[in-house]
Every structure is written in C-alpha cells, then in structure tokens.
Structure 1
Amino acid sequence: MKNLNKINPKIIIGCGGTGGHIYTGLAIANGIKSKIPKSNILFIGSENNMEMKEIPKYGFKIKGISLSGGRNKLVSIYSGFILLYQLIHSFISIKKVIKEFSPNIVIGTGGYVSFPTLCVAKNNNIPILIQEQNSIPGITNRIFSRYAKKICIAYDKSKKFFPKRKTIVTGNPIRSGIFNLPSKKIACKRLGLKKDKPIILSLGGSHGSSNINNVWINGGLTKLIHLDIQLIWQIGNYNINIEKNGILNHPNFIIKKFIENISYCYSAADIIVSRAGALTISEICVIGKPYILIPLSNSTDNHQNENAKILEKKQAALIVNDSEIESKLIDSIIKLMNNINMKKKLIKNMLSLSKPFATNDIIKEILQIILC
C-alpha cells in the first residue's frame, strides 16, 4: 500500500438534516484524517440545517445548498414546485462544486442532501461509497446502491435491500470521544451533579421530542424531585421558559436545547432514555448503559421501530411506544432504576451488539476505492 502520509485525496461527504447523518459523516471524516493526514475533505449540507454550524466546529469545510426537502414536501402542488426548484438549484450548485473540487470519492451517509450529491457524482463517474445507519435504508441510499462501489451497513437486516457482492456489515461509525469517556466522578463534577444520586439522561434526538418533553413537564419532574433523582434533559427545539417555571430551576435538573459534549452526559448517566436513532443506539451499545428506547412513531419507513426491535429481540433495551409514553415511561424508568439484575442483563446484552471497529472498517473500504 502507498505511504498514506504522501497522498492527498479529495473527498466529498454529503450529509445533513439530523445529528445521525451529521455525526456519522464527521466520524468518517475524522477517521480519514487520522489515516491520511493530507486528505482534503469537503462536506455538502443544507443551508438551513444544523450541519452548517456543527461541521465547522470540527475543522472541516462545508458547502451549503438550498434544499430542505423530504417526502412530506410532495403533499401539495405548491410545495412540490418549491422542492423541484430547490432540486434544480441544488444540482447546479453541486455540479459546480464537484467540477471545481474534483473529488476522488463521494461518500453519502443518507438524507435528502445526499440525493443530488450522489446523483452528480454518478453522472461524472466519480466513485461512490454509501453508509447506511438504519435497519431500514433510506430511499436515497437504495437508489444509489446500484452505482456505489461499496455499501457499508450497520445491521444484517439491511442486506436484503442492497447488492450482496458489494455490501459489508461494518456497524455505524461513532464519535471518537465515546471510546474515551471520563470517569463518572469527573463527569458529575463537570456537570454539577451529585455522584451518589441516580442520574437519568433524556435525549429526544437532534431536534428534540415533544412527547418525551411533555412527560417530564406533566408530572415526571415532580416524581423525580420526590425520589431525589437527577435528570440531564435535552429538550431540542421545545419552547419552555425556564426562568418562569420554578420546578425547572431545581438543582437536580440540567436542561439543554442541545448537548455539545455528550461524553460527560453518557458517563454520568445511570439510565438513558432516548428515541431509537441509529447513531445513538450504536453509541450506547459501545458504552453499555441501561437503556429505554422510545421509537418515533412517524419516522420514515418506520425505521426507528425496526431499529428498536433489534435491541428488544436481543433483550438489550426496554421499549416504550409513543402511544403509551404518558402512562408507562416514568414508572418504567423507576422500576429499572431499582432492578439491579435487569440493569446488568441489559448492559451485558447491549455490549454484545457493539461494533467498536466500524469507523476503521469503513475507512479501509474508502482507501481501497481511492488507491485502486
């Protein structure tokens, strides 16, 4: 193999829309940089989404395109015209970027931003690699799998959607910080929490979950205060006035719209409650924490429910459905908190599902494509 310190490939990563797509792309980019220091990496994302702020924080360049699509955009003639206009404009923008940047490979991690990016790459005969995080693949990855050199998937269940000869189960690439969590003592000190009191981490996805948030507001917080349980609560875009709501200022609670450094929160938590996003599941499988999953009931192709079923089948997590969240979630958390044997069982089974070498395995496939 060539001396990787002497090559400088140009790589485009198309991702965005959700934290799952963004942090998957970043994990791949950081993995590439660690193997090929002189690589030149450019992200393509949507101008109106979180990737435009998040990706530059990690030292990478990003080109924004005007695309805020999705299947729901087709519900009316007007929105259909808007989407069509955005797509045409996106194709023109990406065609210009690819012509000027001249990448050696284009990587798609899913989402609507990947569609025009992979399409222009295919039309210009640029090698494509696809990474699919979910058990039920998105439509963009399904379409372009026939043109990709390699498809890296997280779950065996996804194999049936892709060409067998070029599909490999790698798992999901996760943020490097997950492998080097601080001690619980250090994490609690950093967060201002008490190490000897139980701690719940509640995650609603990168945009937050109104259903989960409502459970905490409508009685959940009061129960936690009564039981002296601490809560790290990521509320996302949820509109609450902390200053005017006295209970939210209780010292047992940390409330954030977005969690910048998830490592401290993972380390401090005794139980994690979250949606069934693929990246979050992959990260928690690696760290091994008792886990309660609440699949998003209206996720595309019902992929969150399918993700959750994999863990439920392996007895690696407890599942609470959206329809029963109000009546069941808080009691399920409290019961799990008090059941030492159940927590040990969930942790053991969860760790058995982890794929800690996913990033390295994906980078190997990228190198084979670049160097061939």
Structure 2
Amino acid sequence: MKIFLYFIKKNNNAIVIAAGGTGGHVFPAIALTKILSHRHKVIFFTDKRGEKYFSNQDINRIILPISSSNRKNILQITKLTVNFIRSFFISIIEMKKNKINLVILFGSYIALPVALAAFIMRISIVIHEQNAILGLSNSIISHFADKITVSFKETIGISKKNQSKVIFCGMPIRDKFYSNLIKHKYNHNNDINIVILGGSLGSDILSLKIAEIILSLDNKIKSRINIYHQVKEEHYSTINKLYLKSNLKSYKICVFFNDLEIIMSLSDLIISRSGASSIAEIEFLGKPSILIPLKNSARNHQYINAQVYSNNNNSTIIIEEDNLEIKLMESFDNLFIKDQIKNLQIEAQKYWYKTKGAENLATIIGQILINKHNSRKIKY
C-alpha cells in the first residue's frame, strides 16, 4: 500500500542519475529517468560521450569533464586525474545545491567521482549493473553502495559479503520499444527481414564483412531478404555500392536508425553485438538472434552476456576468431535453406514482453525512498 501511495503523490525527493560513455550505460539510465521524473526532481550526470544520446530528450543534465583513458602515458594519466578531481568537486557542488538524497549509478568511469562525492556527503547510493559480470567501477562502488541492482539473475563478480544488497530488476529499455511493440509483430509472408547492428561503437565485422558474407548467399535466398543494416560511417559508401548490385529484395543502410524499435520489431532475425542493452531489447521483442560478442570488451562482458542469455533464449553465439565466415554461413544455411526461421520465431515468442526493468527498478527506488523517509521519523 505504501509503495502505491508513493507513486500516486508528489514528493520532494531529489535524485542524481549518473551514466556516460556508451549507449549501453546511457539508454537504461534515460529509461529510468523518464519514469522517476514524474514524481521527483532528477538531475542526470553524464559526460561528453554520453551527451550525444540526449537528442530530443527533455532531461536536466550536467556534463562532467571525466573521460576514459587507455592510461599508456603520463600525459593521459595526468589528464584523467585532473578530470576526475574536477568531476568530484562538481558533483559535490551540484548535489549540495540541489539537496540530493539518493544517487543511482549505471557504471562506467563516470560513476567513480560521483560515488565518492555521494559517499563523503553520506548520500545513499544504488548501483545498477547492466551486464552479466560486475564492471570495474561497480565492483569498487559495491562495497559502500546501499543496494546493487542487476539485469541478469546470474550476475557474477559480486562478493559474498555484498550478496545481501543484490536485487534483481532486469534491464531498463527505451520507452519507444513499449509504444511500438503492439503495432509491429511478425511478418507472415515469404520475406526474410534481417537487422544487423554493430552496437553504439560500430563494428568492422558487423559492417563491411557481414555484408560481403550475405551477398555470397544463393540468389534465391537473397531475393527474399530485406536488409536493415547499421554500418560504420566510413563503410557506408562501399556497402551501399555492394547492396546496389546485389539481388536483395530491398535494403536500408544507416549509421544510426532513429526508428530502430520499429525495424527490430519487424525483423525475423537480428545479428548483433552482445551488449546488455542490445540483448535486453532482443529479449523484449522475442526475436531469434545471432550474437557476435566484442572480443576486447571490458572483463569479456559481452561474451559472458551472450552465454548467460543463450542458455535461456533462442540465440546463437559466434566468436569473431572462430572461423566467422564459415560459422555464419552454417547458421544461414540452417535458417534459410532449411527454412527454420519461422520455427525459431514461434519458439522465440515464449520470451515476448518479458522485460520490465525500468518499472522494476523504479519500484525498488520508491521503496528505498519510503524506507529513508520512515527512518527519519524514528526517535531514540
């Protein structure tokens, strides 16, 4: 009852949500922000890399100067240190000015100065781990965070002493996926709609190489295929020329799809990296997929994500170094020549509409704030 009353009436809680770097961190944080903003004052801390994901977003945000570094020389280390200190003091100033009483962190390097500021100011900290293995920043912060929320039930890397803090909520996904899900289901004709995604950082393998592999398919198969391909900008012209000369039924290539949720919901097969956001969106739509983990992802999280996901869902994992072309052709042979794609679609429907991570996480945050409010009333 308390949690219900919490969501139907306004309150004066002020919250910081921090996420930066790639879309895998920023998109789920934005999804949560949109829900919490109905009841709270929410300030979003991000960095210059993360700012690009806020186009057309009415979100109050502050850009911190923190940035990533490969830490290979003294100048980069010095710059990273200075920016860390600046981000730390900006966080303290903004949290004090806005009377913040809860900080929610989505990992990445931006989380560290914000977490340190919150810890010193005795502000409650909640972290969310998107991947199936705890990231480095979240691993450090987990020791003094109040709660650890996770996208995967099987998340690894959490110490035994912190297990009591863990709450499973799932992965928050973009609200556009909810609004477009009912309108666009499966196609029931003979077409094969393939969506190819390279992740927010782009991918050579999932850009030029995979286009060449698809064009090597039999013409009878290609004449049924509609391709929606996210490509790297430097490959756009080359891939466009390749597809133009092909026997594909149709193709659409783009560096960034603004209507990705519609394209994915119309797909028969999604070929993608295995970042946590991509996997959550594939799972939400209940789509057959081929996952090609990024080979140098931090803590090998993309491979672990793919492994955990494929154990319970309709997905094939292909490793980049493991004869990629041969493995992809084998998968295409099973899917298209043996015409297993429709059977996989039916099987994948079992997982449709499974994920409600943003709502679950918002409810957890609501309960934390209720508990904080009640604890203030207790007199000893």
Question: Which residue does 2:151 correspond to in 1?
Answer: 154
Give RMSD over aligned pairs.
2.7
User: Residues 59-98 of structure 1: matches in 2 within 5 Å?
Assistant: 59-70=58-69, 73-98=70-95
Q: Identical aligned pairs, as a percentage?
A: 28
- Per-residue CA deviation, residues 246-301 of structure 1 (Å, 9 max, x unaligned), is 33446721111112222211122110000011111111112111110001111000
Give 1:230's aligned amino acid: N
Does the CA contact (< 8 Å) of 1:242 and 1:248 recur in 2?
no
Question: Which residue does 2:327 correspond to in 1?
Answer: 328
Gaps of 5+ in 1: 189-193
User: Residues 127-276 of structure 1: matches in 2 within 5 Å?
Assistant: 127-158=124-155, 161-162=158-159, 163-180=162-179, 181=181, 183-184=183-184, 196-221=190-215, 223=217, 227-228=222-223, 229-235=225-231, 237-242=232-237, 246-249=241-244, 252-276=250-274
Moved more, 141-150 or 341-350: 341-350
Q: Note the C-alpha offset of 1:176.
A: 2.4
Matched residue of 1:13: which SS?
strand
The 3 A distance-change label for structure 1 pair 311 and 127 is same
Q: Report the TM-score when normalising by structure 1.
A: 0.87
The 3 A distance-change label for structure 1 pair 349 and 125 is same
- Alpha-carbon distance in structure 2 between the residues aligned to 1:141 and 1:244: 39
Question: Which residue does 1:366 correspond to in 2?
Answer: 365
Matched residue of 1:322: which SS?
coil
Question: Which residue does 2:374 correspond to in 1?
Answer: none
The 3 A distance-change label for structure 1 pair 351 and 101 is farther
- Alpha-carbon distance in structure 1 between the residues aligned to 2:10 and 2:239: 58
Matched residue of 1:158: which SS?
coil
Q: Note the C-alpha offset of 1:316.
A: 2.3
- Alpha-carbon distance in structure 2 between the residues aligned to 1:308 and 1:245: 30
Give 2:258's aligned amino acid: E
Q: Report the TM-score when normalising by structure 2.
A: 0.85
Does the CA contact (< 8 Å) of 1:290 and 1:347 recur in 2?
no
Question: Structure 1 residue 17 and structure 2 residue 16: aligned?
Answer: no
Q: Note the C-alpha offset of 1:99.
A: 2.0
- Alpha-carbon distance in structure 2 between the residues aligned to 1:341 and 1:223: 16
Matched residue of 1:239: which SS?
helix
Question: Structure 1 residue 103 and structure 2 residue 112: aligned?
Answer: no
The 3 A distance-change label for structure 1 pair 109 and 343 is farther
Question: Which residue does 1:191 correspond to in 2?
Answer: none
Gaps of 5+ in 2: 372-380
- Per-residue CA deviation, residues 73-119 of structure 1 (Å, 9 max, x unaligned), is 22222321221122122212222222222212111011111111111
Matched residue of 2:234: which SS?
coil
- Per-residue CA deviation, residues 304-329 of structure 1 (Å, 9 max, x unaligned), is 11111113333621111111323322
Matched residue of 2:71: which SS?
helix
The 3 A distance-change label for structure 1 pair 234 and 245 is closer
- Alpha-carbon distance in structure 1 between the residues aligned to 2:124 and 2:66: 23
- Alpha-carbon distance in structure 2 between the residues aligned to 1:206 and 1:133: 15
The 3 A distance-change label for structure 1 pair 24 and 339 is farther
Does the CA contact (< 8 Å) of 2:47 and 2:110 recur in 1?
yes
Moved more, 131-140 or 55-64: 55-64
Question: Structure 1 residue 5 and structure 2 residue 9: aligned?
Answer: yes
The 3 A distance-change label for structure 1 pair 354 and 156 is farther
- Alpha-carbon distance in structure 1 between the residues aligned to 2:79 and 2:279: 34
Matched positions, count: 358
